Amino acid sequence: MSKEKIWVIGASGQIGSDLVVELRKIYGGANVIASDIKEASEEVMQGGPFEHFDVCSVDEISHIVKKYKITEVYNLAALLSGTAEKDPRFAWRLNMNGLFNILNVAREGFVKKVFWPSSIAVFGPTTQKENTPQVAVTEPNTVYGITKIAGERWCEWFHDKYNIDVRSVRYPGLIGYKALPGGGTTDYAVDIFYHAIQQKNYECFLSADTKLPMMYMPDGIRATLDLMHAPQKDISVRSSYNLAGMTFDPKIIHESIKRHYPDFKVNYKTDFRQGIADSWPQSIDDSVATRDWGWKPEYDLDSMVDDMIVKLKPKLIK
Ligand code: SER
């Protein structure tokens, strides 16, 4: 029997849809409590307990922590970059209060370990664009980026001040097949697969040569679990670790998808998300994560594209 009781907040989102399933394989269905304000996938709903829950409510947090005797929390609830830009007040409330509430509950001593996702969005136009180091200029000019850099500072503060075992990675754009694209700037690289499989063309909201750091979801989940399972003494970064998978632009992923769908066309019509993408790095130096907990990605562009199509096709073409 697992002595861990794990709570995943944001279980119907992009990361949660995959992470809950993997955590349940390790800890057992009953020991991983999924929650969200909206229903999650069938796989998540049927694999173990689910609670309808709003991370902004402190009372509800304490209630669930006590009800299940929660020992670890993965707090994934957030508005992504595109959506956050349209509703800054709500983005601040959700992205910040949620984290702050969880860290305060951890301080009361019930929860032993916390995971919180940060992002390449902590970087901004003044950051070195290529091979961005772990410690770099962090002057984000997006609402999402502002919440993420503030969150990182809180994580480090709660660790230093109260010894909370909080761990975090700065995810690049994540590409997965379980959840629909969720309002992020990097989500064109998820959306493009739906169009390649179901239609013959895609209108991309970023320009053809917009290079961004990306990662296939199985690598993202493995990174998360490896970090959470690493011995405390090996964790030297309590803000958030840089994490890298691959770098490509819309033109390059289009070429890779064309290996499967030769007639697939992409045309380009940029919108406000182009400005967000232009403010972010193109590639990331994740050598500190490699040194501290052995991080190494497995998927490159073509192996990711091949697997995405194999997994997504049966879901879309019945
Ligand atoms: N994928 C996120 C977004 O585009 C970045 O972390 O909003």
SS3 of 189, please?
helix
Which residues are CB-neighbours of 162 under 8 A, at least 6 positions away?
A: 106, 107
HSE (side-chain half, CA atoms, 13 Å) at 112: 10
pLDDT score of 182: 81
Supply the residue whose CA is at minimum distance from atom 1 of ligand 1. 173
Q: Is the CB of 124 under 6 A from ligand 1?
A: no
Percent of the chain scoring above 90 in pLDDT: 92
Q: How far is the CA of 227 from the centre of ligand 1 (A)?
A: 20
Whose CA is closest to 15, among 178, 189, 243, 152? 178
pLDDT, tens digit (0-9, with 9 covering 90-100), for 302-311: 999 999 999 9
Residue nearest atom 2 of ligand 1, based on CA coordinates? 184
173 CB within 6 A, ligand 1? yes
pLDDT > 70? residue 1: no
pLDDT in tens, 283-297: 999 999 999 999 999
pLDDT band at 134 (very low <50, low <70, confident <90, very high): very high
The reply to whether ligand 1 has any atom less than 6 angstroms from the CB of 123 is no
Is residue 273 classed as helix, strand or coil in its secondary structure? helix
Q: Which atom of ligand 1 is nearest to the CA of 119?
A: 6
Residues with Cβ within 8 Å of residue 245, at least 6 apart in sequence: 172, 213, 214, 215, 216, 219, 220, 297, 299
Hey, which of 186, 280, 282 would you mutate to test ligand 1's pocket, going by the most ligand atoms within 8 Å of its Cβ?
Answer: 186
DSSP-assigned letter for residue 284: B
Residue with tokens 């660790």: 159
245 has a pLDDT exceeding 70: yes
| Catalytic site includes residue 171 | no
Confidence at residue 58, expressed as pLDDT on a 0 to 100 scale: 82
Per-residue pLDDT band for 252 (boundaries 50, 70, 90) equals very high
Which is the catalytic residue, given 27, 68, 74, 144?
144
Question: Would you say the CB of residue 80 lies under 6 angstroms from ligand 1?
Answer: yes
Sheet holding 118-119, edge to edge: 118-119, 169-171, 241-242
Residue closest via CA to ligand 1's atom 6 equals 119
The angle that helices 58-68 and 98-107 make with each other, rounded to 10 degrees, is: 50
Helix (H) / strand (E) containing 247: strand 246-248
**Contact present, 266 and 192 (Cβ < 8 Å):** yes
CATH of 174-214+245-316, one of 3.90.25.10, 3.20.20.70, 3.40.50.2300, 3.40.50.1980: 3.90.25.10
* 137 has a pLDDT exceeding 90: yes
Kindly report the backbone phi and psi dihedral angles of residue 25, in degrees, each rounded to the nearest multiple of 5, phi listed first: -65, -35
CA nearest 275: which of 10, 65, 54, 81? 81
Q: Which residue has the higher pLDDT, 117 or 55?
A: 117
State the number of CA atoms in the 13 A half-sphere of 116 facing the CB.
Answer: 32
Write the DSSP symbol of residue 39: -
Q: How open is the CA angle 261-267-269, to the nearest 5 degrees? A: 145
Average pLDDT over residues 119-148: 98
Q: 6-127+138-170 adopts what CATH topology?
A: Rossmann fold (3.40.50)
Alpha helices in the chain (DSSP H): 16-27, 42-46, 58-68, 81-86, 88-92, 98-107, 143-162, 188-198, 217-229, 250-258, 273-278, 287-293, 301-316
Domain assignments of the chain as residue spans, ordered by start? 6-127+138-170, 174-214+245-316
Residue 274 pLDDT > 80: yes
| CA 119–ligand 1 middle distance (angstroms) | 7
210 lines ligand 1 (CB under 6 A): no
The whole-number pLDDT of residue 57 equals 85
Instruction: Please say whether the beta carbons of 7 and 72 come within 8 A.
Output: yes
Report CA torsion sign: 247, 250, 251, 254. positive
Q: pLDDT of 64-123, one tens digit each? A: 999 999 999 999 999 999 999 999 999 999 999 989 999 999 998 889 999 999 999 999
Exposed (0-12), middle (13-18) or buried (19+): which is 52, by Cβ within 10 Å? exposed
**Residue 78 has what pLDDT?**
94
Average pLDDT, the chain: 96
Q: Is 185 in the pocket of ligand 1 (CB under 6 A)?
A: yes
Residue scoring higher pLDDT (182 or 191): 191
Cβ atoms within 10 Å, residue 214: 25
